[in-house]
Amino acid sequence: MAETTIPILPCRSIGENLDFYRALGFAVTFQQQRPNPYAVVARGGITLHFFSMKAYDPAQSYSTCYVSTSDVDALYDAFSSGLRAALGKLPTRGLPRIGPLKDMSYGVRQFLVTDPGGNTLRIGQPISDDFAHTEPPKARFARALHTAALLGDSKGDHPAAAKLLDRILASDAARSASEHLRALVLRADMAVRMGERPLAERLLGDARRIRLTDQDREELGDELRRADDLAEAVAGMRQPPPRA
């Protein structure tokens, strides 16, 4: 026996969703308008089905699909390049959006991409044989950073992650240069996701001023790339209208 699991995901506009997946390098392998709008996209070993609902609210969606890959870095680079070419920028907030590529504490290297219909693809590559969460660090700053990353990236509670990061960044807790940069970039990420443009600019400026060794830069490759992506996102964010 050979079984295959294919998710069938909702969206409000089939056309908008198909344009998004074309930008990611997917091919539309089937599309119908009647009796119900329905479409299928495929890229390599990934196949996704979509149906449309007029009353559907993508912002309230919890639809998620996990994609396991043997080369998550290549998929991230391909998706990022495709979105930049199609949208003129890398979308890091709202819908659609793509999240950071990073090593998680449960033995997976992954990133999240969310389509215009609010469906999230969690794309990961195993980097360990043990998928249990690692024990949190014992040092105060490192432990808080570990928890904030789980809150912001795994749980999606951006305000809680931001509050914890603000507290630890303002404290006198000992930290290495790499830990300090990780915290600033993560806090800037939370600021961008919550629309706090001036704060994100300041945090990214603080991160750029941290002196790093060559070894630090090699270890912080994901964070430095995310900082560049966030700077691009900040440049594209509109200033809020002045208050009356």
Cβ contact 27:135 at 8 Å: no
Q: Which helix (H) or strand (E) holds 190?
A: helix 177-193
pLDDT of residue 224: 97
Mind listing the pLDDT tens digit for each residue in 75-105? 999 999 999 999 999 999 999 999 999 998 8
pTM over cut 0.85: yes
Nearest by Cα to 239 from 198, 208, 199:
198
* For the chain, domain boundaries: 8-123, 135-236
Structure confidence at residue 172 (pLDDT) = 97
Task: Label residue 239 exposed, middle or buried (CB < 10 Å: 0-12, 13-18, 19+).
Answer: exposed
The residue written with tokens 């070419």 in the block is: 85
Looking at domain 8-123, its CATH superfamily turns out to be: 2,3-Dihydroxybiphenyl 1,2-Dioxygenase, domain 1 (3.10.180.10)
Beta bridge mates, 8: 49
Distance CA 114, CA 120 (A): 4
Q: Encode pLDDT of 111-159 as tens digits.
A: 999 999 999 999 999 998 887 777 889 999 999 999 999 999 888 899 9
**CB–CB of 51/37 below 8 Å?**
yes
In the predicted model, what is the mean pLDDT of the chain?
93
Q: In this predicted model, what pLDDT tens digit does every residue of 189-215 receive, in sequence order? A: 999 999 999 999 999 999 999 999 999
